[in-house]
Amino acid sequence: MSVRTGVYCALISLLLGLAASGCAPRLPPVAATPDAQSRLLGLTHWRMVGRIGAQTASEGFHGSIRWEHENAQDRVQVSGPLSQGGVSIVLQDDWILIRDDRGEVKTSRDAAALVRQELGFPVPLSSLRYWVIGVPRPARDAVPRYDAAGLLRELKQEGWSLAYEQFVSAQGVALPRKLSASGDEMKLKLVVDEWEILP
């Protein structure tokens, strides 16, 4: 896997992915509470394992993802089918490190610029940490739609449209299990097999 391809796949996966959900294990049903959004914004350390993919007009990617968020840092590992190929990403504020499966590393203190350089279009990296747990990014224009339990069902923000199809309970907190997103140049989906909230 080339660095460019690896970066493409990894950053697409950060944006949520397009994976078939056929054999995903069933997680417990959600017992949502009215203050779901406030609880989600209060999470500082979580880990997620799932399957991702994306589709553009000319390319598609399917693979697996492991994502851990702790305070201001995100660590993401992406691998293709049968664990072939792989990319690791560390993102902290606007600093980003990308390492491919051959050990080649790229870093930048302008994450948005590096992504734009590698992909040819901007990716809202700083918003992903919020979207994947089911909340809009604070202090940014957003058009959300919530259900009666306070769960985010639809979101328009930064030129993206997101749909939250299913939630599960992880240690009493409702988190997305299936979500999809579409931007100007791609369609994305994420299926989460495991959520863990850490101390």
Domain-by-domain residue ranges, the chain?
3-192
Residues in the chain: 199
Sign of the C-alpha dihedral computed for residues 25, 46, 154 and 89 taken in this order: negative
Specify the range with the lowest mean pLDDT, choosing from 18-27, 149-158, 169-178.
18-27
Dist. CA 142–CA 130, nearest whole Å: 12
Residue 16's pLDDT band (cuts 50, 70, 90)? very low
Of the CA atoms within 13 Å of residue 172, those in its CB half-sphere come to: 4
Say what the pLDDT of residue 121 is.
52
pLDDT average, residue stretch 111-119: 72
Start-to-end C-alpha separation, the chain: 35
71: left (phi over 0), alpha (psi -120 to 50) or beta: left
Gap between the Cα atoms of 14 and 152, Å rounded: 19
Q: Tell me the C-alpha distance between 13 and 54, whole Å.
A: 7
Pairing label, strands 142-146, 105-108: unpaired
Q: pLDDT tens-digit profile of 52-100?
A: 887 877 777 788 989 999 998 999 888 876 556 778 889 998 799 988 8
Selected residue with higher pLDDT from 118 and 29: 118
Quote the CA–CA distance of 160 and 15 in Å, as a whole number: 10
Domain 3-192, classified CATH 3.30.420.300, yes or no = no
Per-residue model confidence (pLDDT) at position 67: 94
